[in-house]
Structure 1
Amino acid sequence: MSTTQSERLRELLEPLVISQGLDLEEIAVDSVGRKRVLRVVVDSDTGADLDQIADVSRALSAKLDETEAMGEGAYDLEVGTPGAERPLTEYRHYARAVGRLVRFQLGDGGELVARILEADAEGLDLEVPGVKGRKATARRLAFADVDKARVQVEFNRKDSNEKSIENEKEEEA
């Protein structure tokens, strides 16, 4: 049974990432010009701060130097988080995205943009925003019906405190 370099690196590095309290989300070896770049993406339920990224980067670098898993040629190690518009591929990704707006590509060829209210083992409870003054609607979506999902960036999203303040003002009037 043949294993790829990425799979071998995952087996080597994942225990180190887990020991730092993070999940290893992605690992990739790319060629950029004459250099190789090892990209490692980490995350956790509470996110990863710069100190955690630096700590895991040092630990991974030491392990890679000790084992020569990247061979003798030069390479760059890049450790980061998935980013704002991350694809959602595993249950933990959906659970971390509760409260976020997500664009879903559905198995039937349709598309849906909705906010995740809750995630469980079978699927998602969503709030589909209303269009042209209509109220938002609730919808249940099974994971089996999702081909792709990606978190959307919201620049002018109001947090729950702002919404409750607006609702209180409307009730007083």
Structure 2
Amino acid sequence: MDYLEEQLRELLLPVIKEEGVELIDLEIRGHANRLVIRVFVDYPSGGITIDKCVELSRLFLDRLDVEDVISGNYRLEVSSPGVDRPLKTIFDFSRNIGKKVRVIYFDDEVEKVIEGTILKAQQEEVQIKMAQEIKKIPVEKIRSGKILLPW
């Protein structure tokens, strides 16, 4: 995490907690005078609305303007994580328990792909229920996951 990202997290987290949402991810793209800051948020149970994202955007902009941590122009985007966002962290998997996923992971240095339903997501492993078995995958072996849509 770079210094600007760390500063932004520190500034935005109090607002995020006060508003009852969770920070899913924070991305900073671009360079000096043309930064794009993307803040992905959701309720703990999911289902954040566009109206709530707009409200959070205004609150974040107010906070950023007061603290003046970004010199130059920037664009702030606040949105939900979306269904096509890759599952990268244990938090991502735990928020999606019960959903069908495709997981890419390493087993003895060989990349493998499985599909199934997330049963558990703990600090050290994710459990995926497949047709005939339950696969326990250590978190450090997971490269990525993706929610499988029903259509």
Structure with more relative contact order (C-alpha pairs < 8 Å, separation 6 or more): 2
Give the deviation of 1:60 after TM superposition.
0.3
**Matches of 1:84 and 1:38, distance apart in 2:** 20
Deviating above 6 A after TM superposition, structure 1's stretches of 4 or more consecutive aligned residues are none
Give the deviation of 1:12 after TM superposition.
1.2
Percent of aligned pairs with the same amino acid: 27
Contact 1:98 1:115 in 2 (8 A): yes
**Matches of 1:140 and 1:104, distance apart in 2:** 11
Match of residue 127 from structure 2: 125
Please report the TM-score for the alignment, with normalisation by the length of structure 2.
Answer: 0.82
Give the deviation of 1:110 after TM superposition.
1.4
SS of equivalent to 1:83: coil
**Count of matched residue positions in the alignment of Structure 1 and Structure 2:** 146
Q: What stretches of structure 1 of length at least 5 have no aligned partner?
A: 129-135, 157-173
Match of residue 162 from structure 1: none
Give the deviation of 1:28 after TM superposition.
2.2
Matches within 5 A, 1:156-171: 156=151
Give the deviation of 1:64 after TM superposition.
0.5
Matched to 1:8, the amino acid is Q
Give the deviation of 1:145 after TM superposition.
6.1
Give the deviation of 1:25 after TM superposition.
1.9
Matched to 2:57, the amino acid is S
The 3 A distance-change label for structure 1 pair 138 and 45 is farther
Match of residue 133 from structure 1: none
Answering whether residue 54 of structure 2 is matched by residue 59 of structure 1, we say no
Match of residue 131 from structure 1: none
Matches within 5 A, 1:20-169: 20-31=19-30, 35-47=34-46, 48-71=48-71, 73-108=72-107, 109-128=111-130, 136-144=131-139, 146-156=141-151
Give the CA RMSD over aligned residues: 2.3
Structure with the larger strand share: 2
Return 53-62 or 85-94, whichever deviates more. 85-94
